[in-house]
Amino acid sequence: MISNTTKISFGIAVSAMGALATPAQAASLDATFGSAGTTSTAFGSYGAAARVVIQPDGRIVAAGQDGLGDFALARYTTGGALDTSFNGTGKVTTTPSGSCSGQARALALQTDGKIVVAGTSCPNFTSTRNFTIYRYNTDGSLDTTFGSSGKATVNFYAGASEAYAVAVQGSSIWVAGYAGSSFALARLTGSGTLDYSFGSGSGTVTSAVGTGSAFANSLVIQADGKPVLAGYASSVGTVFALTRYTTNGALDTTFGAGGKVLTNVGGTFNGNSAIATSLAIQGDGKIVAAGYANSVSSGYYRFAAVRYTSTGALDSSFGSGTGKVITAIGTGDAIGNDVAIDANGGIVVGGYSKAGSYRQLTLNRYDQSGNQDYSFGPVVTAVGGANAAVQGLATQGDGKIVVAGYGNSPATFVVARYQ
């Protein structure tokens, strides 16, 4: 986690950029990985990784999309080279059928090593986006035992639906995003069909959250099997929004207000904007939502992290009693895209910040009280003299941090490792 915060009038801890306070032992690129700590993978004229996972053997899998609307995956060795045991090249692309481009946004590993990727496409040549899930074997081939020849789609019959998060628990595959203007969640069986024991016999649930549109970006499954979703909802601007469900798909009334939690992160001023992009659960059951928020009307976005108790209340032991921290990094917007809890209980948030003309890979860490950890960073990395961003991160068993996103011109998958 991270240290040294101040308070502003509306009671939110805000950490300054802190570049001058960063000591020499701050986190840095691992020179043993790729080329001086980073590796880039081209998928034609465009490639952007959305999420990353680390296999038990240390190999790294990143998933995202290319410029043609294909689902794109790459697997790397522990040293950052493309793993040629994966489809012969280290890369896989899958083109969804339909009238719109596909977009892969979420990634999970099964215990048997199979790879689950979720996103959106327009199946059956309609113009309506649906949840789209592919499952791959360990060699990169589509798993034909899943869904229809490796692909499953979910239609919520509530307008467009797009998946932004996926999680695997036992034989169940959970997929979350939005449908129409609501949070949406589906549970699939291991064979890729809807699990009709969930969601009152439909295999799906939708929840209206806030006063207008709502959008789930992240999903975690608690140790007790309850799924928690996080994203944003309209409520005098936008706010962090969380929902929790029972294992059969009902809103969990022991969480927040009727299973829902709304949090103004930067304040209640006109034009406030806060979006949760990611979730993590600590070993003590507390829930961390991370993303970004502004703290003044029309102000720059800042990294944001909010911690909740297991009942959905703001955790008063975090963020100088507020449960919330926002952190300015760089000279412009600072957007948090993913979060992980490290072996020491630190909260690591990855995304991008702007310095000069370009976005840069950015990492920040907070301690258990929500203080910025100046012994870590913030850490920023320029890639290829072009916009770059962390979109997914994962921690290795040895404490090293692996991030994936995009960078270079033209854009490529970029994977980096920090120590």
Q: Which domains does the chain have, with CATH numbers?
A: 6-26+45-341 (2.120.10)
- Count of CB atoms within 10 A of residue 298's CB? 9
DSSP label of 19: G
Asked, as a colleague might, if the bond just before 23 is cis with ω within 30 of 0, I would say no
Best CA proximity match to 145, nearest among 157, 131, 135, 155: 135
The span from the CA of 241 to the CA of 276, in Å, is 7
SS3 303: strand
Which distant-in-sequence residues (6+ apart) come within 8 Å of 87 by Cβ?
Answer: 139, 140, 141
Residue 189, judged by CB atoms within 10 A of its CB (0-12, 13-18, 19+), counts as: middle
Q: pLDDT in tens for each of the 419 residues of the chain? A: 222 222 222 233 333 333 333 333 589 999 999 999 999 999 999 999 999 999 999 999 999 999 999 999 999 999 999 999 999 999 999 999 877 889 999 999 999 999 999 999 988 656 789 999 999 999 999 999 999 999 999 999 878 999 999 999 999 999 999 999 999 999 999 999 999 999 999 999 999 999 999 999 999 999 999 999 999 999 989 999 999 999 999 999 999 999 999 999 998 888 899 999 999 999 999 999 999 999 887 789 999 999 999 999 999 999 999 999 999 999 999 999 999 999 999 999 999 999 888 999 999 999 999 999 999 999 999 999 999 999 999 999 999 999 999 999 999 999 999 99
Best CA proximity match to 352, nearest among 310, 315, 382: 382
Best CA proximity match to 100, nearest among 64, 69, 71, 131: 69
Residue 17, judged by CB atoms within 10 A of its CB (0-12, 13-18, 19+), counts as: middle
Q: Strands, E, within 126-195: which ranges?
A: 130-136, 151-154, 161-169, 172-179, 182-188
The span from the CA of 330 to the CA of 135, in Å, is 39
Best CA proximity match to 348, nearest among 339, 360, 335: 339
The span from the CA of 16 to the CA of 217, in Å, is 27
User: How much is the pLDDT for 97?
Assistant: 83
Strand partners, 412: 407
- Count of CB atoms within 10 A of residue 3's CB? 18
The values of phi and psi at residue 19, to 5°, are -65, -35
User: How much is the pLDDT for 21?
Assistant: 34
User: How much is the pLDDT for 17?
Assistant: 31
* The model's pTM: 0.92
